[in-house]
Amino acid sequence: MMGEPVHRLPPSMEDVDGFVAYIQAGGKVEAGDWMPEEYKNEVIKIASFQAILEVVPMPLFRRWLYMAPTLWRRRPLLGKIQDEVGHCHITARMLEDLGKSREELFSDYLEGRIHLNYPFKFPVDSWGELPAFLLLTNSAAVVQFRSLAHGSYLPYCRVMKKIMREESFHFYHALQLCHELVTEGTPRQRAQVQEGLAKWWHIAIYQFGPPEHLTKGRDWRKWRVKVDENETLRQQWISMLYPIVRSLGVEPDPNLERDPDTGEWRYSPLDWDRFFHLIRQRTPLEEWYVEEFKRSYENDQWALKALKELPLAA
């Protein structure tokens, strides 16, 4: 235990400049520490986006649950649904401590103040396409989460660490299912996986969002809740996933090549205009998510009501 940390606690009340200096020097914030409103809103914004993404697309997996060809394959899907809902739960709990209720979180989505991340707006059409979709989107999530785990708000870093352990199961399950269908499946299944990988490569690559210079507004570098640029994460994801996708017999992007000097991947141009256009819209799949979400929310009101009416112990 050598040396005293330079900044042990964030500066106290109303010293926003001191707080920013503390964060910029690598300082971390614990639950209950004083924080400026703008910082709190940054955490809320990032965590709300993720919490919604954990729960809203679940009807998609529920549908595949019933179409899984064996109980052996149904079980990990069920495990995944349980995990994702759990991820929403722990993130929502953290948000409640920051003053944002679950009702607000859900109404933010239903009323269009939070948008679903791009890849989750598109459907999965076959059993073989499902693991391709899972492999590419799960790995993208892992890349994002492991970066967020180094952010400045410690309760959120803990959420990320807990989540990543389970995402690792989802990732290897998806990879193993892809591999099995490619090597032992029927020619049709093999084609479904490989076409799925090629299709979802070009969708999942948008999961990291646009380069920051295309979006104006919030100064994310100031607060270090998010620490890496979107493009940095996209590059990490390509480095990780490209060899895997190739090993499954797919060359996803004819223009993909690594710059020999910088090590940066170059890829087919991304259509950010289309991205910005679509991200604010609801696709037919998303309309279905919203319907399902509202329906469960209304169906479950009796349980919420009963919980609220329970007398508190002691």
Partner 1 sequence: MQEYEAFVRFRKGEPLQHVGSVRAPDPESALEAAYHIFLRLDTFERLWVVDRRFIAEMIPDAEWDRRRIQETEFRRPSFYVRKLAAAGYTPPKLSTG
Can you give the binding site for partner 1, defined by CB under 8 A? 4-5, 8-9, 28, 30, 75-76, 79, 139, 142, 145-146, 154, 157, 164-169, 171-173, 175-176, 179-180, 183-184, 240, 243-244, 247, 314
C-beta closer to partner 1: residue 67 or 240: 240
Amino acid at 250: V
Whether the CB-CB separation of 77 and 64 falls below 8 Å is answered with yes
Amino acid at 119: P
Whether the CB-CB separation of 92 and 163 falls below 8 Å is answered with no
C-beta closer to partner 1: residue 187 or 243: 243
Shortest distance in whole angstroms from residue 246 CB to partner 1: 12
Please enumerate in sequence order all residues whose Cβ is within 8 A of that of 297, keeping only pairs 6 or more positions apart, or say none: 106
Shortest distance in whole angstroms from residue 251 CB to partner 1: 18
C-beta closer to partner 1: residue 169 or 220: 169
**How far apart (Å, rounded) are the C-alpha atoms in residues 289 and 57?**
6
Whether the CB-CB separation of 266 and 257 falls below 8 Å is answered with yes
Q: Which residues pair with 258 in a beta bridge?
A: 265
Shortest distance in whole angstroms from residue 179 CB to partner 1: 5
C-alpha torsion 87→160→66→134, nearest 10 = 150
Please enumerate in sequence order all residues whose Cβ is within 8 A of that of 106, keeping only pairs 6 or more positions apart, or say none: 52, 293, 297
C-beta closer to partner 1: residue 217 or 312: 312
**How far apart (Å, rounded) are the C-alpha atoms in residues 181 and 194?**
10
Shortest distance in whole angstroms from residue 76 CB to partner 1: 5
C-beta closer to partner 1: residue 254 or 311: 311
Instruction: Write out the two tokens for 180.
Output: 């099995």
Shortest distance in whole angstroms from residue 80 CB to partner 1: 9
Handedness of CA 175, 177, 180, 182 (dihedral sign): negative
Shortest distance in whole angstroms from residue 29 CB to partner 1: 9
Q: How far is CA 185 from the centre of its chain?
A: 30
Shortest distance in whole angstroms from residue 43 CB to partner 1: 16
C-beta closer to partner 1: residue 102 or 162: 162
C-beta closer to partner 1: residue 192 or 236: 236
**How far apart (Å, rounded) are the C-alpha atoms in residues 130 and 190?**
12
